Chains A and B, each alone.
Chain A
């Protein structure tokens, strides 16, 4: 597709469950970013991939969060043992090269009940 695609657009899960959020970047973009946005705040950096490898994962809040990008295209953000505080919009972005400006998807709204 022409833009960054994120699925699902909405996800409601019970506390303690495992969730996966998917991101399809713009074709040919080597850099991929995950951000988390809470209500009324700016996007908060989670992790950055250059190709298949995580070049910077310093924003992951704890070891319940993990992300992969096995073939250098699609990425999956995985959250184990979800907590109510994980509720937020998870944004994915991609760029043509490491320092090109990121293009964002529409986000996945995660609600943990």
Chain B
């Protein structure tokens, strides 16, 4: 079945630094989603991507749909303490009815 890998698994950064994380798939996707999850909460959508090569921003967040359609990355600029959490990518192909989630990247921001 479809599998997603996310890297890095976890990262510790200083407040104000930029962050980059990525997600790779074993198969081609036609939709990529990026979510953030805080402890005790459900995942919250950050960015949705629908076209290969698409680059989309949401405030300090920027995400891109890879041209191979098998990867996506998320950048966070000028990190702040509230960026702490787990970031999940999720993908959807033409055949599946569901969204497959990656294992997550855990971000810690040091003051």
Q: Which residues of A contact B (CB under 8 A)?
A: 4, 33, 35, 41-45, 48, 50, 55-56, 58-59, 91, 93, 98-99, 101-107
Q: Which residue of A lies closest to B103 (CB)?
A: A42
Please, which residues of chain B bring their CB within 8 A of the CB of A104?
A: 35, 42-44
B104 with A42: CB separation less than 8 A:
yes
With both chains docked as a complex, state the minimum distance between the C-beta of A100 and any C-beta of chain B, in angstroms: 9
20 of the cross-chain contacts (CB-CB < 8 Å) are A33-B98, A35-B101, A42-B4, A42-B102, A43-B88, A44-B101, A45-B98, A48-B97, A50-B97, A56-B97, A56-B98, A91-B42, A91-B43, A101-B31, A101-B33, A101-B45, A101-B48, A103-B45, A106-B40, A106-B42
Binding site for A on B (CB under 8 A): 4, 31, 33, 35, 40-45, 48, 88, 92, 96-104
Q: Are B98 and A41 in contact (CB under 8 A)?
A: no
**A55 CB contacts on chain B under 8 angstroms:** 97
Task: Determine how close the nearest CB of chain B comes to the CB of A95; give it in whole angstroms.
Answer: 9
- The reply to whether B96 and A56 form a contact with Cβ atoms under 8 Å apart is yes
